[in-house]
């Protein structure tokens, strides 16, 4: 496709330490509702969402909250992107290639009922309902930087649990070396499928150890509410140390396999998009540099670009997964 074609460290204070009480209370209610399986709840008003987005400021210490993640690296101190930007500037090609298309068109996506098929080299294959998936593990909040391959980035408070929790529950067989993530492709509700930018469905994949890394998130919500459709409702992957396109939206199938999956972007333009797609300022995209990024919301005339960090700033947590690999070759 030619359209991409045409400081996180364990020393950072937890997000829960710096969240005002009403915001944190709302989030806790949401997590409780999610845990109880009531999909479709929307507990927050627009104002409160914005408050949520704006509340994470370094140095603003408040009472410790439950529901925030203890996973190292899961709570960046970077200021969250506004809810408005995070829900109106999207990549979701099933709804069109313009950044504003998903927020205008994704209302047609039908998210209930929803099932995810687990198949391949796994002891407990089957069709799992959304409610069952939501209850499979306790949800928590994670604030991740997201770096898009196109050179912009955001900071998003997600709600979900580590993909590892689901993987352990379905018991992959010893031969399973990779996990393939297949997303919804419904021509009736997804107008972008008519424009053949890539082969549908949108497919992504991870090595088993990447999928099992605690930072790899199965996300059901963001900003304290259930996932907006344009962001990949009702559930999506979030892999914060890889370019955003590795994080498939609206998952319908998870397949365990012994062969490295071919992701949609790799298939469309293999010289431009590798399987690994780790954020790496030292490996340029063939048509542009990856050394810097524009943080959405910081785009005034005087706003400086940020330096892109190795593994998007998650090197301390994930660097060892790639020890000894030539990351120019395995880009
Ligand atoms: N998942 C599907 N199914 N279709 C897509 O087009 N775009 C990817 C990823 N997941 C995409 C997808 C890209 S390029 C990015 S940068 C992120 O989703 C954007 O997620 P966001 O819109 O929630 O910020």
**Cα gap 264→301, rounded to integer Å:** 35
What number is the average pLDDT over the span 256-266?
A: 97
Which atom of ligand 1 is the closest one to the Cα of 230? 22
Per-residue exposure over 124-155, b if at least 16 CB sit within 10 Å of its own CB, e if not: ebeebebeebbebbebbbbbbbbbbbbbbbbb
Nearest to 235 by CA among 248, 246, 216: 248
For the Cβ of 244 lying below 6 angstroms from any atom of ligand 1, the answer is yes
- Does residue 31 surpass a pLDDT of 80? no
Tell me which CATH code domain 73-316 carries.
3.90.420.10
Ligand 1 centroid from CA 177, angstroms: 24
Cα-only R_g, the chain: 19
| Confidence label for 44 from pLDDT (cuts 50, 70 and 90) | very low
Please report the pLDDT score of residue 176 as a whole number. 98
3-state class (DSSP) for residue 313: helix
If one compares 263 and 36, the residue with the highest pLDDT of the two is 263
Q: Six-digit token pair at 305?
A: 């670009």
Ligand 1 centroid from CA 237, angstroms: 10
| Confidence label for 97 from pLDDT (cuts 50, 70 and 90) | very high
For the Cβ of 77 lying below 6 angstroms from any atom of ligand 1, the answer is no
In tens, the pLDDT along 154-203 reads: 999 999 999 999 999 999 999 999 999 999 999 999 999 997 779 999 99
Neighbours of 324 (CB within 10 A): 5
Task: Supply the residue whose CA is at minimum distance from atom 14 of ligand 1.
Answer: 245
Write the CB contacts of 212 (distance below 8 Å, at least 6 apart in sequence).
Answer: 163, 164, 167
Please report the pLDDT score of residue 300 as a whole number. 78
Which atom of ligand 1 is the closest one to the Cα of 192? 6
Q: Residue 76 in contact with residue 12, Cβ under 8 Å?
A: yes
Ligand 1 centroid from CA 244, angstroms: 6
Write the CB contacts of 15 (distance below 8 Å, at least 6 apart in sequence).
Answer: 56, 68, 75, 77, 141, 143, 157
For the Cβ of 231 lying below 6 angstroms from any atom of ligand 1, the answer is yes
Q: What is the pTM of this model?
A: 0.86
For the Cβ of 183 lying below 6 angstroms from any atom of ligand 1, the answer is yes
Ligand 1 centroid from CA 123, angstroms: 30
Which atom of ligand 1 is the closest one to the Cα of 102? 22
Q: Residue 295 in contact with residue 153, Cβ under 8 Å?
A: yes
Question: Ligand 1: which of 94, 191, 232 to mutate, most ligand atoms within 8 Å of CB?
Answer: 232
Which atom of ligand 1 is the closest one to the Cα of 90? 22
Task: Supply the residue whose CA is at minimum distance from atom 3 of ligand 1.
Answer: 249
For the Cβ of 91 lying below 6 angstroms from any atom of ligand 1, the answer is yes
Please report the pLDDT score of residue 225 as a whole number. 86
Please report the pLDDT score of residue 43 as a whole number. 36
Catalogue the E-assigned strands of 247-328.
251-257, 292-295, 306-307
Which atom of ligand 1 is the closest one to the Cα of 250? 3
Ligand 1 centroid from CA 40, angstroms: 21
Nearest to 138 by CA among 210, 69, 76: 69
**Cα gap 281→274, rounded to integer Å:** 15
Region for 151 from its dihedrals, namely left if φ exceeds 0, alpha if ψ lies in -120 to 50, beta otherwise: left
3-state class (DSSP) for residue 322: helix
What number is the average pLDDT over the span 107-133?
A: 96
Task: Supply the residue whose CA is at minimum distance from atom 4 of ligand 1.
Answer: 92
DSSP alpha helix (H) spans, the chain:
21-35, 46-54, 83-88, 101-105, 130-135, 163-170, 208-212, 264-268, 315-318
Q: Is 208 exposed, middle or buried (0-12, 13-18, 19+ CB in 10 A)?
A: middle
Q: Residue 291 in contact with residue 308, Cβ under 8 Å?
A: yes
């Amino acid at each position: 496709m030619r359209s991409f074609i045409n400081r996180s460290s364990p020393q950072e204070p937890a997000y829960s330490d710096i969240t005002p009480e009403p915001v944190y209370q709302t989030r806790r209610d949401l997590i409780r509702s999610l845990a109880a399986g009531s999909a479709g709840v929307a507990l927050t008003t627009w104002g409160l969402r914005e408050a949520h987005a704006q509340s994470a400021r370094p140095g603003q210490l408040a009472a410790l909250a439950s529901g925030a993640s203890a996973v190292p690296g899961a709570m960046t101190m970077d200021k969250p992107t506004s809810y408005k930007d995070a829900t109106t500037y999207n990549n979701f090609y099933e709804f069109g290639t313009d950044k504003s298309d998903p927020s205008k068109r994704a209302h047609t996506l039908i998210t209930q009922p929803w099932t995810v098929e687990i198949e391949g080299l796994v002891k407990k294959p089957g069709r799992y309902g959304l409610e069952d998936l939501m209850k499979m593990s306790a949800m928590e909040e994670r604030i991740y930087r997201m770096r898009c391959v196109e050179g912009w980035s955001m900071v998003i408070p997600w709600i979900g649990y580590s993909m590892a929790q689901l993987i352990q529950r379905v018991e992959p067989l010893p031969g399973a070396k990779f996990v393939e993530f297949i997303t919804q492709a419904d021509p009736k509700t997804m107008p972008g499928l008519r424009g053949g930018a890539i082969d549908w469905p949108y497919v992504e994949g991870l090595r088993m150890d990447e999928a099992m890394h605690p930072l790899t998130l199965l996300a059901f919500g963001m900003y304290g509410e259930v996932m907006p459709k344009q962001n990949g409702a009702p559930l999506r992957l979030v892999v914060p140390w890889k370019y955003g396109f590795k994080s498939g939206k609206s998952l319908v199938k998870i397949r365990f396999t012994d062969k490295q999956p071919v992701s949609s972007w790799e298939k469309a333009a293999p010289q431009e998009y590798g399987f690994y797609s780790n954020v790496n300022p030292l490996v340029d995209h063939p048509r542009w540099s990856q050394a810097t990024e524009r943080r959405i919301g910081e785009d005034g005339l005087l706003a400086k670009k940020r330096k892109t960090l190795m593994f998007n700033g998650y090197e301390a947590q994930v660097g060892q997964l790639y020890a000894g690999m030539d990351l120019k070759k395995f880009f």
